[in-house]
Structure 1
Amino acid sequence: MRIKAAIDRIPGGLMLVPLLLGALCKTFAPGAPAYFKGFTQGIMTGVIPILAVWFFCMGASLRLGATGTVLRKSGTLVLTKLLAAWAIVMVASLFIPPEGIQTGFFAGLSILALVCAMDMTNGGLYASLMQTYGSREEAGAFILTSIESGPLMSMIILGASGAAHFEPQIFVGAVLPFLVGFALGNLDPKLRALFAPGGQLMIPFFAFALGNTVDLNNLLSPLAGLGVVLALAVIVLTGIPLILADRTIGGGTGTAGLAAASTAGAAAANPLAIAAVAPQFAPAAQTATVLVTICIIVTSILVPILTGLWYRRFGGAAAESEREAPLRTHGGFPAE
């Protein structure tokens, strides 16, 4: 059976398929973890420890060396995405309480859902789109998206916007596994080779555990419509600044900027991770997880379509000339 090949054909499938399986367990067999106990209970409910290992492996996979062009392009996209998310959260925090909106169409929308949906780009989706519509260096610009992984950037945005206050040790605790992995991976290439594959390997495990916090009955509620609206807001409110930054700073056609206007699959883990260290967000965590999950699905469908349309209208000739340029390297590390 070609199960892996079928999963790979789904945008973000390595995250979304296990997450859906976990959500099915939560919806139709909510008592399963307590019934089975032991290791089965651990893998169904252990989101935080599994995420901690994943953050460590992601840190170990991040290299210091890259070409200047790749760093310029990836740095431009990452910083623009984070600044756009910060501006959105700063404005929204003036109107939305930490526990979220409680009535009307926007009931369930919270600052937590906004920041987790807005601040992380789906790096795998971006890289695959740039393999088709961009240059090799643009495809390699997914490198720095690893910096966005985990709740740290979301916590920084929440703190900088005044929407939340975190004690210094909470920031340290959130980033320490990532930093230790980053240090070890760059001090010893063999350790990088050992730990880096875990960044991919751990995704289905934390996705399944995360899915076990999501009741699919919520998708039949008004949250479905709100989730679609939030996904469209992600594309528009982060896509426009990303396109402008790609064209003016990154030297691109705007195609790479639009391709980065998505919600990362791993972002679905952030509401629960943030609520674990910031109890004021606990009431909004489950609803935020559902909304972010809808954003992942909707942006994974719409962003490739919109990127293709943009490329055909604005980016075709320029991107093709860049694609034919010789591939540059630095320190033996290719921009791919």
Structure 2
Amino acid sequence: MSIPIKKALEKVPGGMMLVPLGIGAVIHTLAPDAGKFFGSFTGAFFTGLAPLLAVFFVCLGATLEVKSTPYILKKGGVLLGSKILFAILIGVIAGRFLGEAPIDSGILAGLSTLALVAALNDTNGGLYISLMGQFGRKRDAGAYSILSLESGPFLTMVTLGIAGLSAFPWQALVGAILPLALGMLLGNLDKNMRSLLAPLVPAMVPFLGLALGLTINLNAVVEAGLLGIALGLFVVFVGGAVLLLADKLTGGDGVAGLAAATTAGNAALVPAIIATANPVYAPAADHATVLVAASVVVSAVLCPIVTSAWAKRVQKRARLQESDDNSREQEAPTPKHAGSTPELT
């Protein structure tokens, strides 16, 4: 008996990532203590996203040639810079109207500058890497080693203008790059190591999806209501449009930009950290935490669908362009003989 599981997953947009993520989120929502209950290897998987990402980076790095390093710096820098500038723009606009406090009544009750900036400032790295791995853009996946600099409250603090608390330890910077660098070293020193590690990149995508899903509580979407869903839609579609444009303006096809239009799971922790650092944001922190958590879920579900649809469009255009180029070559006029009489004008 054979069940075509792989084919079924591939029929779903971003299915290799999205379906395991959904399964993990359902498990975490219905049985949040399942990891502790089973313990051992099963329990470790419930909290094992970071080690899985580290291994993925090593395998991914092994597929990258040294000559692609400038590209990684460029791609990561463009995406990171675009996210930062867009978050700052939204923060400045929202700050002028809302200040530090949340809206206290009406359909937008609970929305704050803090919630908007925290949701925009941190990319879901596991999802980005998995989408890039699934669509075969290995160099674009490596760009997350630069995007990872936005993790945590650092950029949110900078965007909100909190002084004196913006230190980013150098150890974290180095630690974010080391696994990728190790993989690149192994792959470039020994082609056999590259051949060994490269096939693991697509194979790890569903495991990353499941591990990521096991950190997501679907109740956050229900608790946040329509406002939380709207925040997630804003991150994916408005933030995604900005990132897609930035990606295309720098020679990309837009896929990497859309794949970065998400909210990371640890972004839900940022409002509480900000409120601790500056009590003026305390009234907004609770609502912001719920809204950002909802954005994590909504963006994790929608981003693979949007990215997959755009990737298929890009691939279709490439095939049509290739077909047109071949047709032009076949229809090219035969050169005239050297001795022929030129036409009069």
- Shorter-chain TM range is 0.5 to 0.7
Contact 1:271 1:285 in 2 (8 A): no
- Encode CA deviations 1:86-106: one digit per residue, 9 max, x unaligned: 311333455679x99686364
Q: Which residue of structure 2 lines up, in the alignment, with residue 262 of structure 1? A: 258
The number of residues matched between the two structures is 296
C-alpha root-mean-square deviation of aligned residues, in Å?
Answer: 4.6
Q: Which residue of structure 1 lines up, in the alignment, with residue 23 of structure 2? A: 21
Aligned partner of residue 259 in structure 2, secondary structure: coil
Matching of residue 147 in structure 1 with residue 145 in structure 2: no
Matching of residue 197 in structure 1 with residue 192 in structure 2: no
Matches within 5 A, 1:151-300: 152-155=148-151, 162-163=158-159, 164-221=166-223, 222=225, 223-243=228-248, 245=249, 250=251, 256-257=253-254, 259-263=255-259, 270-272=264-266, 280=273, 288=292, 290-300=294-304
Cα deviation for residue 279 of structure 1 reads 9.1
Q: Which residue of structure 2 lines up, in the alignment, with residue 88 of structure 1? A: 86
Q: 1:28 to 1:290 in 2, by over 3 A?
A: same
Contact 1:22 1:211 in 2 (8 A): yes
What is the rounded CA distance, in whole Å, between the counterparts of 1:161 and 1:110 in structure 2? Answer: 13
Cα deviation for residue 235 of structure 1 reads 2.9
TM-score, normalized by length of structure 1?
Answer: 0.68
What is the rounded CA distance, in whole Å, between the counterparts of 1:203 and 1:308 in structure 2? Answer: 19
Q: 1:310 to 1:118 in 2, by over 3 A?
A: same
- Structure 2 counterpart of 1:9, which letter? K
Which structure is higher in RCO with an 8 Å CA cutoff and minimum separation 6?
1
Q: Which residue of structure 2 lines up, in the alignment, with residue 332 of structure 1? A: none
Q: Which residue of structure 2 lines up, in the alignment, with residue 40 of structure 1? A: 42
**Identical positions, percent:** 25
Cα deviation for residue 215 of structure 1 reads 1.1
Aligned partner of residue 116 in structure 1, secondary structure: coil
What is the rounded CA distance, in whole Å, between the counterparts of 1:59 and 1:220 in structure 2? Answer: 39
TM-score, normalized by length of structure 2?
Answer: 0.66
Contact 1:55 1:149 in 2 (8 A): no
What is the rounded CA distance, in whole Å, between the counterparts of 2:157 and 2:291 in structure 1? Answer: 22
Q: 1:53 to 1:126 in 2, by over 3 A?
A: closer
Cα deviation for residue 60 of structure 1 reads 1.8
- Structure 1 counterpart of 2:9, which letter? I
Contact 2:9 2:19 in 1 (8 A): yes
Q: Choose 1 or 2 for highest CA Rg.
A: 2
- Encode CA deviations 1:244-292: one digit per residue, 9 max, x unaligned: x1xxx63x9xxx23x4441259x66x5439979x994798788646524
- Encode CA deviations 1:4-28: one digit per residue, 9 max, x unaligned: 1111122222221111111111111
Cα deviation for residue 216 of structure 1 reads 1.0
Residue ranges of structure 1 left out of the alignment (5+ in a row): 130-139, 327-336
What is the rounded CA distance, in whole Å, between the counterparts of 1:322 and 1:128 in structure 2? Answer: 28
Matching of residue 111 in structure 1 with residue 117 in structure 2: yes
